[in-house]
Amino acid sequence: MWRLVPVLAAALFLLPATAARAADAPLTLGKTGDFSLAPPDVTEDAASGWYLRADAGYVAGYVDGSLNTLFVDSLPSGGSGTASGWSVGAGLGYRFTPWLRADVGIDYLDLGGVDTVLGHFSAQSTVALASLYWDIITLAGFTPYVSGGAGFAIDQIAPPAFLPAPGNDWRFAWSLGAGVSYALSSAWTIDLGYRYVNLGAPDLPGLPGIGIDALGGHQLRIGVRYSLGE
């Protein structure tokens, strides 16, 4: 029993120091960089919040027509058409908090074309949007998010060659989206997302009997973000 006295005395001597170190160490769930329920670290100075983004993707474009002369399979009250296209875009953003960021960006959308009783119509749009993002949570390095944006679109409808081109039409545009990002490093992040964008209802002057009620697209985008704070 007497042999245990020095051991117990040493344990009692070291206990306060061990407890102090435990109190100073933050309580974490999981291993940093491997699994964490905490939002990603964000430096508080203004420069670290800025980032650049670039992306490209697939677009499922659609158009709703107001008259039955627009689409081959239209109903008497109107019709709609869908087509496949592509998009590219870039933007500048700022992260305000670990879970809230915003950016302004310009995207070019090729919405594809549809065949009508008058011939082939195609559509393109240049879209400028200010968007807000909510980064919901980070799990194993993956961060799901939702987004919404508003701005304007410059729509262009290309009719068959024998019809006059209506030119560019500026319209209010808005978007809703969701996706997931993954941080490759403190500077680089890859992003995969879906975005619905409404491009308004462009006018078609010089094309009597043809009207557009809505123009838009469903985007699947993959891109990268680069933090300017690194």
pLDDT in tens, the chain (230 residues): 444 444 334 443 444 444 444 444 444 433 344 444 454 454 434 335 899 999 999 999 888 775 444 444 443 444 567 788 999 999 999 999 888 999 999 999 999 887 777 778 888 999 999 999 999 998 888 999 999 999 999 999 888 877 777 888 899 999 999 999 998 988 899 999 999 999 998 887 766 667 778 889 999 999 999 998 75
Instruction: Output the pLDDT for position 81.
Output: 73
Residue with tokens 């123009």: 215
Instruction: Output the pLDDT for position 48.
Output: 53
How far is Cα 196 from Cα 144, in angstroms, rounded to an integer? 17
Q: Against a cut of 0.75, is the pTM above it?
A: no
Domain count, the chain: 1
Residue 162 in any domain: the answer is yes
Residue 168 in any domain: the answer is yes
Phi-psi region of 141 (alpha: psi -120 to 50; beta: other; left: phi over 0): left
Residue 20 in any domain: the answer is no
Residue 50 in any domain: the answer is yes
Query: By three-state DSSP, how is residue 25 classified?
Result: coil
Residue 51 in any domain: the answer is yes
Max Cα distance, the chain (Å): 108
Which tokens in the block code for residue 91?
């933007």
Instruction: Output the pLDDT for position 145.
Output: 97
- Expressed as residue numbers, the domain containing 98 is 46-227
Could you give the C-alpha distances from 170 to 86, 96, 201, 230, in angstroms and in order?
A: 20, 31, 10, 38
Instruction: Output the pLDDT for position 158.
Output: 85
Instruction: Output the pLDDT for position 166.
Output: 80
Residue 85 in any domain: the answer is yes
Residue 195 in any domain: the answer is yes
Q: Domain containing 178 — which CATH number?
A: 2.40.160.20
